[in-house]
Amino acid sequence: MASAYGGPEVLSVIDEAVPEPGPGQVRIAVRAAGVNPFDQKVYSGAFGTDPGNLPLRLGLEAAGVVTAAGDHATGPAGPVEVGDEVIAYRAPGAYAAELVVPASSVVPKPANLSWEQAGGLMLAGVTAVHALEAIGLRKGESVLIHGAAGGVGLMAVQLAVARGATVLGTASPAKHDLLRELGAVPVAYGLGLADRVRAAAPEGVQAAADLVGTDEAVDVSVEVVADRSRIATIAGIARGTQAGIKVLGGSPGADPGTDIRAAARLQLTEAAEAGRLRVLIAGSYPLSEAAAAHREIMTGHTSGKIVLVP
């Protein structure tokens, strides 16, 4: 929980009673919760600093075991019952040991995922699906994915490869072997990126997804993709708006993709259960060390997801 607006130092754990679930709700004993850049923006003040909103409960995704269910507790996959192992998204306040959420936010946890993997699947996964849908990626096309080794990027790479696309992924050279393992063609970012992309895709690039929000990502995308309606950014809000490309996410004026993201939940669990989608965990922290987890994601250099374990 954030007691003030600022940096990771404002985060702390407090004891709070958890209510019984009402009709259409379930209570979950959380086993892992995903940490996302969005969480950091909330308490940094990026979305406003109204003191009336403090303290702020953080987190949007979690995995755990249902410990109580209200009447008519039904999720996208059917009735939700005590003892079910589940993933919850959207789950406001997911940084918690226990959590009450609408049953409509709950889907079954794939048995082959660890708790950490399950806790880190959804937000990055639905964001990746939204990005690929927004750019209309089709089989046989080439797509440029910026930030391909990040949490969302790794999901987007795998999902794009599964669609039959040729994926060019930008990343630092240390992460190129991982991208090759997932079926992408790695490209080092930095000066000369557009030329390296053209060399890697001599027949052209039809679409691009910016998952890092740098000026370079937007500018190179516009340079190598002819149709700006087939370029999207989840992070370069101001620059993306200025360039006339699609801006996705929760920022004012952005496309939230609510229906796409909701529908993606069962698609993601099915793909993970079938072994077509891996959830790579970059680090796991106790809930009491949420500040340390946030300092790690703020470096911008993690490969995969950071999760908290109560």
Side chain identity, residue 1: M
Distance separating the N- and C-terminal Cα atoms of the chain:
13
What pLDDT does residue 65 have?
A: 98
Residues 6+ apart with CB under 8 A from 306: 34, 35, 120, 151, 281, 282, 283, 284, 285, 293, 296, 297
**Is 281 in contact with 116 (CB distance < 8 Å)?**
yes
pTM here is 0.96
What pLDDT does residue 250 have?
A: 84
Return the bridge partners of 86, or none. 64, 108
- The mean per-residue pLDDT over the stretch 179-196 comes to 98
In the chain, beta strands by DSSP E? 25-35, 62-69, 74-75, 78-79, 85-88, 98-102, 106-108, 142-146, 166-171, 185-188, 207-210, 231-233, 246-247, 281-286, 305-309
pLDDT tens string 74-132 = 999 999 999 999 999 999 999 999 999 999 999 999 999 999 999 999 999 999 999 99
255: DSSP letter: B
pLDDT tens string 135-183 = 999 999 999 999 999 999 999 999 999 999 999 999 999 999 999 999 9
What pLDDT does residue 253 have?
A: 87
For residue 292, give Cα distances in angstroms to 42, 180, 250, 306, 309.
Answer: 17, 30, 25, 11, 13
Handedness of CA 273, 171, 35, 61 (dihedral sign): negative
pLDDT tens string 200-256 = 999 999 999 999 999 999 999 999 999 999 999 999 999 999 999 999 998 888 999
What pLDDT does residue 257 have?
A: 97
φ, ψ of residue 196 in degrees (nearest 5) = -65, -35
pLDDT tens string 269-283 = 999 999 999 999 999
- The mean per-residue pLDDT over the stretch 31-47 comes to 94
Question: What structural domains does the chain harbor?
Answer: 8-121+279-309 (3.90.180.10), 124-247 (3.40.50.720)
21: DSSP letter: P
